[in-house]
Structure 1
Amino acid sequence: MINRIAQLERREKILLLVGAVFIVVVVLIYGVYDPYRNALSRAQRSIATKYQQIDQVRALQAEYLALQGQMNRAESKLVKRSGVSALAMVEDIASRIGSRENLSYIRPQPAQTQGEIHIENLDVKLERLSLQQVLQLLWGVESAQTQMQIKNLRLKQRFDNPAQTDLTMTVSVFRKNR
Protein backbone atom coordinates (compact mmCIF):
# COMPACT_ATOMS: atom_id res chain seq x y z
CA MET A 1 0.00 0.00 0.00
CA ILE A 2 2.87 2.37 0.81
CA ASN A 3 4.41 1.49 -2.56
CA ARG A 4 1.22 2.49 -4.34
CA ILE A 5 1.14 5.80 -2.50
CA ALA A 6 4.78 6.42 -3.37
CA GLN A 7 4.03 5.81 -7.04
CA LEU A 8 1.29 8.46 -7.13
CA GLU A 9 2.00 11.86 -8.52
CA ARG A 10 2.16 14.86 -6.29
CA ARG A 11 -1.28 16.11 -7.34
CA GLU A 12 -2.83 12.71 -6.49
CA LYS A 13 -1.01 12.63 -3.14
CA ILE A 14 -2.42 16.06 -2.24
CA LEU A 15 -5.90 14.95 -3.29
CA LEU A 16 -5.54 11.78 -1.21
CA LEU A 17 -4.30 13.81 1.77
CA VAL A 18 -7.19 16.28 1.46
CA GLY A 19 -9.66 13.36 1.25
CA ALA A 20 -8.14 11.72 4.35
CA VAL A 21 -8.23 15.00 6.30
CA PHE A 22 -11.84 15.53 5.20
CA ILE A 23 -12.81 12.05 6.38
CA VAL A 24 -11.04 12.58 9.73
CA VAL A 25 -12.76 15.96 10.18
CA VAL A 26 -16.19 14.49 9.32
CA VAL A 27 -15.62 11.60 11.73
CA LEU A 28 -14.54 14.02 14.48
CA ILE A 29 -17.50 16.35 13.89
CA TYR A 30 -20.21 13.68 13.61
CA GLY A 31 -18.60 11.07 15.83
CA VAL A 32 -17.28 13.19 18.71
CA TYR A 33 -18.33 16.87 18.69
CA ASP A 34 -22.00 16.49 17.69
CA PRO A 35 -22.80 13.76 20.26
CA TYR A 36 -20.97 15.79 22.92
CA ARG A 37 -22.95 18.94 22.02
CA ASN A 38 -26.26 16.99 22.05
CA ALA A 39 -25.45 15.44 25.42
CA LEU A 40 -24.55 18.86 26.81
CA SER A 41 -27.80 20.33 25.48
CA ARG A 42 -29.84 17.48 27.03
CA ALA A 43 -28.03 17.97 30.33
CA GLN A 44 -28.80 21.70 30.32
CA ARG A 45 -32.48 21.05 29.60
CA SER A 46 -32.53 18.43 32.34
CA ILE A 47 -30.98 20.88 34.79
CA ALA A 48 -33.56 23.54 33.88
CA THR A 49 -36.36 21.00 34.35
CA LYS A 50 -34.97 19.93 37.72
CA TYR A 51 -34.81 23.57 38.87
CA GLN A 52 -38.47 23.99 37.88
CA GLN A 53 -39.34 20.84 39.79
CA ILE A 54 -37.46 22.13 42.84
CA ASP A 55 -39.44 25.39 42.64
CA GLN A 56 -42.68 23.40 42.40
CA VAL A 57 -41.69 21.28 45.40
CA ARG A 58 -40.91 24.42 47.40
CA ALA A 59 -44.28 25.93 46.46
CA LEU A 60 -46.03 22.68 47.42
CA GLN A 61 -44.08 22.61 50.68
CA ALA A 62 -45.23 26.15 51.52
CA GLU A 63 -48.82 25.22 50.64
CA TYR A 64 -48.58 22.05 52.72
CA LEU A 65 -47.27 23.98 55.73
CA ALA A 66 -50.06 26.56 55.37
CA LEU A 67 -52.69 23.81 55.17
CA GLN A 68 -51.14 22.01 58.11
CA GLY A 69 -51.29 25.26 60.12
CA GLN A 70 -54.95 25.69 59.18
CA MET A 71 -55.65 22.11 60.17
CA ASN A 72 -53.92 22.56 63.52
CA ARG A 73 -55.90 25.75 64.19
CA ALA A 74 -59.15 24.00 63.26
CA GLU A 75 -58.32 21.01 65.46
CA SER A 76 -57.48 23.28 68.37
CA LYS A 77 -60.96 24.79 68.06
CA LEU A 78 -62.60 21.38 68.23
CA VAL A 79 -63.70 20.82 71.80
CA LYS A 80 -65.15 17.75 73.46
CA ARG A 81 -68.93 17.38 73.24
CA SER A 82 -69.39 17.86 76.97
CA GLY A 83 -69.09 21.68 76.63
CA VAL A 84 -71.78 24.27 76.11
CA SER A 85 -74.54 23.40 73.66
CA ALA A 86 -74.45 24.79 70.13
CA LEU A 87 -77.75 26.54 70.74
CA ALA A 88 -76.30 28.38 73.75
CA MET A 89 -73.21 29.40 71.77
CA VAL A 90 -75.23 30.97 68.95
CA GLU A 91 -77.52 32.67 71.46
CA ASP A 92 -74.45 34.04 73.27
CA ILE A 93 -73.04 35.47 70.02
CA ALA A 94 -76.39 37.15 69.30
CA SER A 95 -76.44 38.58 72.83
CA ARG A 96 -72.90 39.97 72.49
CA ILE A 97 -73.82 42.00 69.42
CA GLY A 98 -76.97 43.31 71.07
CA SER A 99 -79.47 41.53 68.87
CA ARG A 100 -80.85 38.97 71.33
CA GLU A 101 -84.27 40.58 71.10
CA ASN A 102 -84.14 40.32 67.29
CA LEU A 103 -83.67 36.55 67.43
CA SER A 104 -86.79 34.95 65.89
CA TYR A 105 -85.79 31.32 66.20
CA ILE A 106 -82.99 28.82 66.56
CA ARG A 107 -84.01 25.39 65.29
CA PRO A 108 -81.68 22.48 65.95
CA GLN A 109 -81.37 20.04 63.05
CA PRO A 110 -80.50 16.34 63.41
CA ALA A 111 -76.87 15.92 64.46
CA GLN A 112 -74.39 14.09 62.25
CA THR A 113 -71.27 12.14 63.09
CA GLN A 114 -68.39 11.75 60.65
CA GLY A 115 -65.58 9.69 62.13
CA GLU A 116 -64.36 11.47 65.25
CA ILE A 117 -66.29 14.66 64.46
CA HIS A 118 -69.79 15.40 65.75
CA ILE A 119 -71.65 18.08 63.74
CA GLU A 120 -74.60 20.01 65.13
CA ASN A 121 -76.59 22.12 62.65
CA LEU A 122 -78.81 25.03 63.68
CA ASP A 123 -81.18 27.11 61.58
CA VAL A 124 -81.11 30.67 62.91
CA LYS A 125 -83.28 33.66 62.01
CA LEU A 126 -82.70 37.19 63.19
CA GLU A 127 -84.87 40.13 62.15
CA ARG A 128 -84.32 43.88 61.94
CA LEU A 129 -80.52 43.83 61.93
CA SER A 130 -78.33 46.65 60.74
CA LEU A 131 -75.47 45.87 58.38
CA GLN A 132 -73.05 46.47 61.27
CA GLN A 133 -74.87 43.88 63.40
CA VAL A 134 -74.82 41.37 60.52
CA LEU A 135 -71.07 41.80 60.15
CA GLN A 136 -70.55 41.49 63.92
CA LEU A 137 -72.64 38.31 63.95
CA LEU A 138 -70.69 36.79 61.07
CA TRP A 139 -67.40 37.77 62.72
CA GLY A 140 -68.61 36.30 66.01
CA VAL A 141 -69.37 32.96 64.37
CA GLU A 142 -66.07 33.00 62.46
CA SER A 143 -63.95 33.85 65.50
CA ALA A 144 -65.78 31.67 68.03
CA GLN A 145 -63.69 29.53 70.36
CA THR A 146 -65.42 26.42 69.00
CA GLN A 147 -65.13 25.49 65.34
CA MET A 148 -68.28 26.92 63.70
CA GLN A 149 -69.15 27.32 60.05
CA ILE A 150 -71.99 29.08 58.27
CA LYS A 151 -73.47 26.69 55.71
CA ASN A 152 -76.29 28.83 54.28
CA LEU A 153 -76.76 32.57 54.56
CA ARG A 154 -79.69 34.60 53.28
CA LEU A 155 -80.09 38.32 53.79
CA LYS A 156 -83.35 40.02 52.95
CA GLN A 157 -83.81 43.77 53.01
CA ARG A 158 -86.84 44.91 54.98
CA PHE A 159 -89.58 46.89 53.22
CA ASP A 160 -90.52 48.95 56.27
CA ASN A 161 -86.88 50.05 56.88
CA PRO A 162 -84.40 49.55 54.00
CA ALA A 163 -81.46 50.08 56.37
CA GLN A 164 -82.35 46.84 58.18
CA THR A 165 -82.20 43.24 57.00
CA ASP A 166 -83.57 39.90 58.05
CA LEU A 167 -80.94 37.18 58.31
CA THR A 168 -81.51 33.44 57.98
CA MET A 169 -78.54 31.09 58.21
CA THR A 170 -77.56 27.53 58.98
CA VAL A 171 -74.67 27.26 61.44
CA SER A 172 -72.70 24.06 61.89
CA VAL A 173 -70.81 23.46 65.12
CA PHE A 174 -68.03 20.87 64.98
CA ARG A 175 -66.87 18.95 68.04
CA LYS A 176 -64.78 15.90 68.81
CA ASN A 177 -66.57 12.79 69.97
CA ARG A 178 -65.77 11.66 73.46
Structure 2
Amino acid sequence: MITFKKARNQNGVTSIELGMITAVISVAIITGVSYFKGPIQTAFATEASMLASHSAVVGQKTDFINSIQSSSKDDFDMTYVDTTEGGTNIAGDNLWNTVGKSHIAQANAERNIQALTKLNGEDTITGVFGLYDDYNTPLHSIDEAISHLENGKVKAGKIAHTSDAGNIEVTTSSGKVFLLQAGTLTENN
Protein backbone atom coordinates (compact mmCIF):
# COMPACT_ATOMS: atom_id res chain seq x y z
CA MET A 1 0.00 0.00 0.00
CA ILE A 2 1.20 3.37 -0.87
CA THR A 3 0.87 6.13 1.73
CA PHE A 4 1.34 9.75 1.04
CA LYS A 5 2.92 11.94 3.63
CA LYS A 6 2.12 15.57 3.62
CA ALA A 7 5.17 17.60 3.23
CA ARG A 8 5.41 20.25 5.88
CA ASN A 9 7.23 23.46 5.49
CA GLN A 10 8.19 24.53 9.02
CA ASN A 11 9.74 27.79 7.88
CA GLY A 12 6.39 29.60 7.67
CA VAL A 13 5.24 28.47 11.14
CA THR A 14 8.56 29.44 12.76
CA SER A 15 8.42 32.87 11.15
CA ILE A 16 4.87 33.43 12.39
CA GLU A 17 5.83 32.35 15.94
CA LEU A 18 8.84 34.66 15.97
CA GLY A 19 6.70 37.52 14.64
CA MET A 20 4.17 36.99 17.43
CA ILE A 21 6.88 36.88 20.10
CA THR A 22 8.41 40.07 18.70
CA ALA A 23 5.00 41.77 18.73
CA VAL A 24 4.35 40.77 22.37
CA ILE A 25 7.80 42.03 23.45
CA SER A 26 7.25 45.29 21.54
CA VAL A 27 3.88 45.84 23.21
CA ALA A 28 5.45 45.12 26.63
CA ILE A 29 8.27 47.62 26.00
CA ILE A 30 5.90 50.32 24.78
CA THR A 31 3.58 49.76 27.75
CA GLY A 32 6.49 49.82 30.22
CA VAL A 33 7.98 52.99 28.76
CA SER A 34 4.55 54.67 28.76
CA TYR A 35 3.91 53.61 32.36
CA PHE A 36 7.30 54.69 33.73
CA LYS A 37 7.66 57.82 31.58
CA GLY A 38 6.21 60.16 34.23
CA PRO A 39 8.22 58.85 37.22
CA ILE A 40 11.45 58.76 35.19
CA GLN A 41 10.94 62.33 33.96
CA THR A 42 10.15 63.43 37.52
CA ALA A 43 13.29 61.73 38.86
CA PHE A 44 15.53 63.37 36.25
CA ALA A 45 13.85 66.76 36.75
CA THR A 46 14.38 66.48 40.53
CA GLU A 47 18.05 65.61 40.07
CA ALA A 48 18.53 68.48 37.64
CA SER A 49 16.87 70.88 40.06
CA MET A 50 19.04 69.66 42.95
CA LEU A 51 22.20 70.06 40.88
CA ALA A 52 21.18 73.56 39.82
CA SER A 53 20.41 74.62 43.41
CA HIS A 54 23.69 73.10 44.63
CA SER A 55 25.57 75.09 41.98
CA ALA A 56 23.81 78.27 43.13
CA VAL A 57 24.69 77.57 46.78
CA VAL A 58 28.32 76.85 45.89
CA GLY A 59 28.37 80.13 43.96
CA GLN A 60 27.00 82.00 46.98
CA LYS A 61 29.58 80.37 49.26
CA THR A 62 32.37 81.26 46.87
CA ASP A 63 31.13 84.88 46.83
CA PHE A 64 31.11 84.84 50.64
CA ILE A 65 34.68 83.50 50.79
CA ASN A 66 35.84 86.02 48.17
CA SER A 67 34.32 88.91 50.14
CA ILE A 68 36.02 87.67 53.34
CA GLN A 69 39.36 87.38 51.54
CA SER A 70 39.12 90.83 49.97
CA SER A 71 38.14 92.52 53.25
CA SER A 72 40.81 90.81 55.39
CA LYS A 73 43.76 92.94 56.39
CA ASP A 74 45.47 89.99 58.07
CA ASP A 75 46.46 86.70 56.44
CA PHE A 76 43.33 84.68 55.70
CA ASP A 77 44.31 81.01 55.69
CA MET A 78 42.29 79.07 53.10
CA THR A 79 43.23 75.77 54.77
CA TYR A 80 40.41 76.41 57.27
CA VAL A 81 37.89 76.80 54.42
CA ASP A 82 35.98 73.70 53.34
CA THR A 83 36.94 71.92 50.10
CA THR A 84 33.48 72.66 48.64
CA GLU A 85 34.29 76.36 49.00
CA GLY A 86 37.78 76.29 47.49
CA GLY A 87 39.79 75.51 50.63
CA THR A 88 41.46 72.31 51.84
CA ASN A 89 39.54 71.63 55.05
CA ILE A 90 37.14 68.73 55.59
CA ALA A 91 34.94 67.78 58.52
CA GLY A 92 36.64 65.74 61.22
CA ASP A 93 35.59 62.21 61.99
CA ASN A 94 34.19 62.73 65.49
CA LEU A 95 31.74 65.11 67.08
CA TRP A 96 33.02 67.35 69.85
CA ASN A 97 30.12 66.01 71.83
CA THR A 98 30.96 67.90 75.00
CA VAL A 99 27.62 67.23 76.67
CA GLY A 100 28.19 64.46 79.20
CA LYS A 101 31.85 64.14 78.18
CA SER A 102 35.05 64.95 80.02
CA HIS A 103 35.52 68.13 82.00
CA ILE A 104 38.35 69.08 79.61
CA ALA A 105 36.05 68.94 76.55
CA GLN A 106 33.38 70.96 78.35
CA ALA A 107 35.94 73.50 79.56
CA ASN A 108 37.40 73.90 76.05
CA ALA A 109 33.93 74.46 74.58
CA GLU A 110 33.14 77.02 77.29
CA ARG A 111 36.45 78.82 76.74
CA ASN A 112 35.84 78.90 72.99
CA ILE A 113 32.33 80.32 73.53
CA GLN A 114 33.65 82.97 75.93
CA ALA A 115 36.46 83.97 73.58
CA LEU A 116 34.11 84.19 70.58
CA THR A 117 31.50 86.16 72.52
CA LYS A 118 34.10 88.60 73.86
CA LEU A 119 35.66 89.14 70.43
CA ASN A 120 32.23 89.58 68.80
CA GLY A 121 31.42 92.32 71.36
CA GLU A 122 34.64 94.17 70.52
CA ASP A 123 34.85 93.60 66.76
CA THR A 124 31.88 91.92 65.02
CA ILE A 125 32.73 88.44 63.78
CA THR A 126 32.00 88.12 60.04
CA GLY A 127 33.03 84.51 59.52
CA VAL A 128 33.94 81.32 61.37
CA PHE A 129 35.94 78.63 59.58
CA GLY A 130 36.94 75.11 60.61
CA LEU A 131 33.70 74.16 62.41
CA TYR A 132 31.08 71.74 61.08
CA ASP A 133 27.68 70.58 62.27
CA ASP A 134 26.94 66.89 62.80
CA TYR A 135 25.95 66.60 59.10
CA ASN A 136 29.40 67.87 57.96
CA THR A 137 28.02 71.26 56.86
CA PRO A 138 30.46 74.13 57.45
CA LEU A 139 29.34 76.61 60.13
CA HIS A 140 30.18 80.21 59.24
CA SER A 141 28.09 82.49 61.43
CA ILE A 142 28.94 83.31 65.01
CA ASP A 143 25.41 82.35 66.08
CA GLU A 144 25.71 78.89 64.47
CA ALA A 145 29.15 78.35 66.00
CA ILE A 146 28.08 79.28 69.54
CA SER A 147 24.83 77.33 69.29
CA HIS A 148 26.63 74.16 68.17
CA LEU A 149 29.39 74.59 70.74
CA GLU A 150 26.75 74.96 73.47
CA ASN A 151 24.80 71.86 72.48
CA GLY A 152 27.97 69.86 71.88
CA LYS A 153 27.04 68.85 68.32
CA VAL A 154 29.99 70.26 66.45
CA LYS A 155 32.95 68.85 64.56
CA ALA A 156 36.30 70.47 64.03
CA GLY A 157 37.80 70.63 60.61
CA LYS A 158 40.56 68.24 59.68
CA ILE A 159 43.27 70.02 57.76
CA ALA A 160 45.17 67.58 55.62
CA HIS A 161 48.76 66.84 56.65
CA THR A 162 48.93 69.25 59.59
CA SER A 163 48.55 69.16 63.33
CA ASP A 164 46.05 72.03 63.26
CA ALA A 165 42.99 69.82 63.69
CA GLY A 166 40.66 71.52 66.13
CA ASN A 167 41.70 75.09 65.43
CA ILE A 168 39.12 77.60 64.26
CA GLU A 169 39.76 80.62 62.06
CA VAL A 170 37.65 83.73 62.75
CA THR A 171 37.34 86.91 60.68
CA THR A 172 36.05 90.27 61.93
CA SER A 173 34.46 93.36 60.43
CA SER A 174 37.69 95.34 60.89
CA GLY A 175 39.48 92.85 58.60
CA LYS A 176 41.36 91.02 61.33
CA VAL A 177 41.81 87.26 61.21
CA PHE A 178 42.20 85.24 64.40
CA LEU A 179 43.07 81.65 65.15
CA LEU A 180 41.10 80.15 68.07
CA GLN A 181 42.47 77.15 69.93
CA ALA A 182 41.12 76.02 73.30
CA GLY A 183 39.79 79.47 74.11
CA THR A 184 42.93 81.36 73.10
CA LEU A 185 42.70 83.86 70.22
CA THR A 186 45.84 84.70 68.24
CA GLU A 187 45.77 87.30 65.46
CA ASN A 188 47.12 86.17 62.06
CA ASN A 189 49.12 89.25 61.08
- TM-score of the aligned structures, taking structure 1 as reference length: 0.36
- TM-score of the aligned structures, taking structure 2 as reference length: 0.34
- Select the structure of larger CA radius of gyration: 1
Higher share of residues assigned helix? 1
